Structure 1
Amino acid sequence: MSLPEPADLTSLVLRTDFADEPTWEAVRAALDAVDAYPHATCVAERRFADARVAELVAWDSAAPEGERIHYVFLADAAALADPEHPLLAVDLADEPGRTFRVPVRWFPDVSANLSLANMDFAEFADTADEGDGTYRGFGED
């Protein structure tokens, strides 16, 4: 199975939990509202229900070189349950399977820098809180 390609200069946000439609819509609305520019290509296809990190890594690595997406953000059960909606960021290229969480509030910063290759995945992952693995900006509150 191949992963959908995000729109230009956006990041793929893949819905993997289908238990709560209103919360998914709230996450989508929050992603749209957090910045004046679009940063997310949201995909809610049931074929990705409960997809695991290892599966995503395998699917992306099986894609032809020019069709690989390098990273993805998951709207999983944990992201939908938490009021901050911390999406699970998954590295598919440099350190396949490495993850960190990013609340919607900081999603535009992460997405923009990754989509422009201004920063790499590890720079954000290395800054994530050691306790809960969540990126909350570079020394910001």
Structure 2
Amino acid sequence: MPYPKLPAPAPGEVLLICTCYEEDKARWGEVLGALRGRQDGDAVVLDDGGVRLRLAEDPGWDYLQGGNLPALVPEGSAAPPIAAVVDIPVVYGGAAVLLVDLREIPGRGVRVPGDDLGRVLAALLGGSLRFDELVHGMDRFGVYQGDGWAPAIPTPTTVVRASFPRLPATEMTLLVRTDFTDDRAWRALVDALGEPDEDGGFSAGEGLSDRVELSAVVVDDREFEHLQPGQVPALVPPGEHTTMVALADAATMADPAHPVLVVDLYDTPGQVTRIPLAEAGSMAANLEISNMDFADFV
């Protein structure tokens, strides 16, 4: 069943989208009370900067991933620059509000604390702050100017190509080749995954990991050459709960341990970490059962 399209915000407004529902009722948690602003009908006008947050509710958005928002912009309409999301980590985990880029690199996200939301949104809409700067300023929890220390692997913001096809729909890990300069290194990586199963996926054997086998759908297609992490979340079909997406880039090919670049789809869409292929199965399993968060691997 397709997700409902996003409503069109008025000029200068930002949609505040709820993606957490119980019995078709929106759950906003403590967010609305924590925002520094005043209620104005179905909008909140923030004190710092005067930005209007238009509250957007639809039970059809339950469990919607932030990276899927670009696909829900109505066809023929201009995408607003940004949207704000109140998701499960916000409602039940006290996480910062998720801002999703809808224009520069659609689908990537950064979290911003509620008490700083007005300033950040006003600066983004006014042009004195770019989404790239939010990404560069994230801590390991994906929070802009957060105190969780800087990630070991900064999330890239440079884009080589602007257009890519959709990624395959699957519940398994996607392993996507993005570098095509070394076929021998790529074959070595694929050989390490083992033999494909009847569904076309690969399961790593005991020689690859002594903890958890990695089940992955391998994408070897030049259509994804130079794909960057921030572009990945918008390419995952809406409604598909892919465990994670791992990119095999030039650094992956150059190292015998095949350290893949793993992209977050849930907590902070587009954020990255790099792990050896031998550890990817354990990471996928822990993310799947919510035993660990993406930040635990950053």
Matched positions, count = 120
Of 223, 245, 255, the match for 1:47 = 223
Q: Deviations over 1:64-123 (max 9, x none)?
A: 2x1353631001111111121100001122101211111022122112222343322222
2:258 alignment partner in structure 1? 85
Q: Are 1:25 and 2:168 counterparts?
A: no
Structure with the greater relative contact order (CA < 8 A, sep ≥ 6): 1 or 2? 1
Q: Which amino acid aligns with 1:48?
A: F
- TM-score by length of structure 2 reads 0.37
1:5 alignment partner in structure 2? 169
Q: State the distance in 2 between where 1:85 and 1:77 align.
A: 10
Contact 1:5 1:12 (C-alpha < 8 Å) held by counterparts? no
2:242 alignment partner in structure 1? 69
Structure with a larger share of its residues in helix:
1
Query: Structure 1 residue 45: deviation in Å?
Result: 1.4
Q: State the distance in 2 between where 1:95 and 1:103 align.
A: 21
Q: Are 1:112 and 2:288 counterparts?
A: no
1:14 alignment partner in structure 2? 176
Q: State the distance in 1 between where 2:245 and 2:233 align.
A: 10
Query: Structure 1 residue 52: deviation in Å?
Result: 1.1
Contact 1:11 1:115 (C-alpha < 8 Å) held by counterparts? no
Q: Which amino acid aligns with 1:78?
A: A
SS of the equivalent of 2:217 reads: strand
Q: Which amino acid aligns with 1:11?
A: T
Q: Percent of aligned positions with the same letter in both sequences? A: 41
Q: Which amino acid aligns with 2:270?
A: G
Q: Which amino acid aligns with 1:18?
A: F
Contact 2:264 2:271 (C-alpha < 8 Å) held by counterparts? yes
Q: State the distance in 2 between where 1:94 and 1:70 align.
A: 12
Contact 1:71 1:90 (C-alpha < 8 Å) held by counterparts? yes
Unaligned runs of 5+ in 2: 1-164, 194-203
Q: Deviations over 1:109-141 (max 9, x none)?
A: 11222234332222222xxxxxxxxxxxxxxxx
Q: State the distance in 1 between where 2:181 and 2:230 align.
A: 22
Q: Which amino acid aligns with 2:222?
A: R
Q: Which amino acid aligns with 2:250?
A: A
Pair 90,38 (structure 1): closer, same or farther in 2 beyond 3 Å: closer
- TM-score by length of structure 1 reads 0.73
